[in-house]
Chain A
Amino acid sequence: MTEITEPNNVRQKLHLVFTGHVDHGKSTVIGRLLYDTGSLPEGTVTKIRRISAETGQPFEMAFLLDAFEEEQKQGITIDTTRLQFKTKKRDYVIIDAPGHKEFLKNMISGAADAEAAFLVIDAQRGVEEQSRRHALMLKLLGISRIGLIINKMDLVGFSQDVFQAVSAELTGFLESLGLSPQVTLPLAALSGENIVAHSQAMTWYHGPTLIEALDGLTKDEGGQGSLRLPLQAIYKFDDRRILAGRIESGQVSVGDEILISPGGKKTKVVSLAAWLDRDLKSQSGAGESVGLMVSDEFFNRRGEIVSLPGEPPAVSDRLRASIFWMGRNPLKIKRRYKLRLATSESEAEITEIVRLVDSETLAAQNGRNQAQSSSESPKTMVGVFGPGGQTQNAAKPISSGPEPSSSADDAHLKIEERTSGPEEVGFNQVAEVEILLQRQLAFDLFSRHRATGRFVLVDGFDVSGGGIVTEIFERLPVRFGFVGDGLRARCEVFEEYYYDISGMAVSKVTPKEPSYSLGDRVPLTGHSYRYPENFDIAVFRDRVAIRIRDGRVVSLLALQDYAYEGFPIVNGRGFGVLVNSERDWALVREDYDRLTTDNETALAERWLDFNTYRRIPMGGGEYSQELFE
């Protein structure tokens, strides 16, 4: 084959992914494409013919891709593979993604890198579960160049009617997702119909062959839009101080004034660093890994985003997102995960699962039905280690103890029932959620900036989910009791609790002081609480500890950095935590990590002290007048 080369001998390369339901023939389509374009290494076809003959199986194109022994023996693709082929126009990298439901995470790993996707559908079997799920994933991965392959046309007698029916069904589904296929092809991959040459069996089809369709795709150059340079690290190997990272969009030039978020500091680019003089430039653009030297040496850290001052990213700690979950354990409300967005990272809590998306029908499951069928109590409750039900209005009555059981004995207590949404997102499910971050991060809407508008969620050691930001909440919906050292913690330590005798419920009055920062004096004594001059507050929910010394806030620190110093510890509600040694503290941490709704009460009884710092006096707030009537 004659090479058409760009200057510098480098040809354009396009990354393609083939997805679809298991057994619809993705690997065969790819195998055929490689075979017909003469892209297979010498001996490969002979070797596979030999394996086929020896095992009595039909010649399997798929063996070319499914390299693992397990894959060849079971005849399925387990993990994603990459293969290359070329046409006269350019080079292609094909990503073969598994269609089996169990391997969705592998499909995503492959598809996330693709610039264009082909969805392969078996003409005889039509659209199946994974066909829809994969289409939904392509949408969430932001892949908009999509082609449809109606494969195995030989099995339906090369019928134009079947082709039209299947493509109409699939196109309808894609359109409901806001995707429109650029091309729809009838193929019989096994015999190579419409791959490189027009099929004689389907003369009714006048569209492009697969090769023509591929060459017709425009390459996504990416990186459109304003400057986004997430910092990977700050290097000081020698006398140079270099801000290193990869430009995700836009460009940066020497002399530019830049904004570094979320810090919000502005400075100027003095030069773009490089090892070799010949690599020194005055401007760099999207996709380049660069090093900035700037005029002001203020504190910078990994995770910050460099932008131009006129087009900054949002800075917030609360967002709404569409997520897909691939974790072994379901994603749960109230549990804490690590969220990683570009190079930044924060602890994150799913505050609400707005809806679950059924990829079969795209119908939402939300609200009542889900809550009623859930075995977990949908009630708002006072968490053992910190405030529960953050959507609770602070002035409204809440239940008092750690044991909000729903037994008949408590029927007279005013326990507010909150209609809640789904409590968890299961394996391979897609959902819309709201997320609260432990710290403010700089990020964007996915629709505006792809690379800084998407994130993954880490559960334990594993990347278990991915998501795209669909909404950013600029204003804090939650009141933080403490703010400082880049951390915030919700807490109700200085809230007054009262027992409302007529309503037989505990009510809460929130102090006027919005929050306390480093150096602030805190009110050690209230109507319903009294704390010592020196104590520590462990806000488990936000994983932050606060040290109070001589009645003032002296530090906020991440819980993992906190060490017991011999001072009393209270939790986020002002209840004592029974810690008298470093060992006790380690045990509390351990227990907290295995906290579930089932053992919450037992752990509360083991570790919490409800009497030392708090009491619950009668009356208060709007109820106090009634008491003396």
Chain B
Amino acid sequence: MNHLQSLEADSIFILREAYNRLGRLGLLWSIGKDSTVLLWLAKKAFFGHCPFPFIHVDTGYKIPEMITYRDLVALELGLEMIVWQNSEALSAGMGPAKGRLICCRALKTDALNSMTKHYGFDGLIVGVRRDEEGSRSKERVFSERNEDDEWDYVNQPPELWGQFKTDFPKGHHIRVHPLLQWNEIDIWRYIESEQIPVIDLYFSKNGRRYRSLGCAPCTGIIESEAATVSQIIEELANTKVAERAGRAQDQEDAYAMQKLRKDGYM
């Protein structure tokens, strides 16, 4: 087995554990490359079926193409979709102008947390990777959130031998991270070898492309000529710029992501 095949097999193992061990389960689909790979892996894990709903936390500020693409794919694959929004904050005028971290907290963290409560999810599958940023590098595959959706990151349980955290008090939930071991370049190599369709915002037009997708006001476009998956792989193999360098919220404070994630941010 090569490295990609073993990443695939382990992620499938994790997805099946989540489905077997956790009660109500959903998958956070952000339309980006990582959660699209997750969708693909779920299809493989469950032999063409997706036995749980796909959830999109829509901040209202997403790049418009993402929403069009989301609805198209959901229809095509017959996904059970939950679209959730913090409409209260939105109608009160929440936006990045109020402060990026405040905005992320309201439109992403709070929205996610109220969605989790509303549906009573015991498990949420999220496509985060260890190589994205510091606090994610410290994550567990099964990561508990308490009744206030908080992450007790200084006191994480041991995780070994494929034995995950599946016992927890009622009201808590587990964030399941099947892609934790994957790198950005692994994702693209897998997309290439499996020929997985991804949104074309990633591909260069007029010398510019998105490397990471998020909300329109806070997501930077990079200078790039990479217009195909293999050109992206080539580019990544030679870059030293961090993947999330274009994500404004990460740059707000040295420990911004740790602080956001402690309160339930994905």
Contact = CB atoms under 8 A, between A and B. Distances in A.
B6 interface: yes
16 contacts: A10-B2, A11-B3, A68-B134, A68-B154, A79-B153, A109-B140, A112-B160, A112-B161, A232-B13, A235-B47, A287-B5, A456-B160, A456-B163, A458-B167, A462-B165, A463-B160
B205 interface: no
A417 interface: no
B158 A288 contact: no
Contacts of A78: 138, 154
Contacts of B193: 8
Interface of A: 3, 6, 8-13, 38, 40-43, 51, 67-70, 78-84, 91, 93, 105-106, 108-109, 112-113, 141, 232-233, 235, 237-238, 240, 242, 244, 246, 273-276, 279, 285-289, 291, 302, 326, 338, 340, 342, 451, 454, 456, 458, 460-464, 466
A82 B130 CA distance: 7
B44 A279 contact: yes
Contacts of A12: 3
Interface string B1-39: 111111011101100110110000000000000000000
A340 B43 contact: no
Contacts of B162: 342, 451
A493 B35 CA distance: 57
Contacts of B237: 3
A456 B165 CA distance: 11
Given A82-B137, A274-B44, 20 more contacts: A6-B2, A38-B240, A41-B240, A42-B242, A67-B133, A67-B138, A79-B138, A82-B181, A84-B131, A91-B3, A105-B158, A237-B47, A238-B49, A246-B9, A246-B13, A287-B5, A456-B160, A460-B167, A461-B168, A461-B169
Contact of A109 (B43, B131, B154, B159): B159
A109 B158 contact: yes
A287 B9 contact: yes
Contact of A462 (B2, B157, B192): B157
A4 to B, nearest CB: 12
Contacts of B135: 67-68
Most buried by A among B4, B161, B192: B161
A235 B47 CA distance: 9
A232 B17 contact: yes
Contact of B3 (A13, A238, A464): A13
Given A10-B3, A82-B130, A68 B158 contact: no
B228 interface: no
B45 interface: yes
A81 B138 contact: yes
B183 interface: yes
A302 B20 contact: yes
B17 to A, nearest CB: 7
B222 to A, nearest CB: 13
Contact of A466 (B9, B12, B160): B160
B161 A237 contact: no
Contact of A10 (B47, B49, B189): B189
B38 to A, nearest CB: 14
A78 B51 CA distance: 37
Most buried by B among A42, A82, A240: A82
Contact of B19 (A13, A233, A342, A460): A233
A42 B1 contact: no
B156 interface: yes
B200 to A, nearest CB: 22
B240 A80 contact: no
Given A13-B3, A233-B20, A454-B161, A79 B156 contact: yes
A84 B186 CA distance: 12
A67 B1 contact: no
Contacts of A232: 13, 16-17, 20
Most buried by A among B44, B159, B237: B159
A52 to B, nearest CB: 13
A233 B131 contact: no
A83 B255 CA distance: 18
B48 interface: yes
Nearest to A237: B49
Contacts of A40: 240
Contacts of A6: 2
Contacts of B183: 84
Contacts of A342: 162
Given A42-B240, A237-B49, A68 B233 contact: no
B92 interface: no
Given A42-B240, A79-B153, A68 B17 contact: no
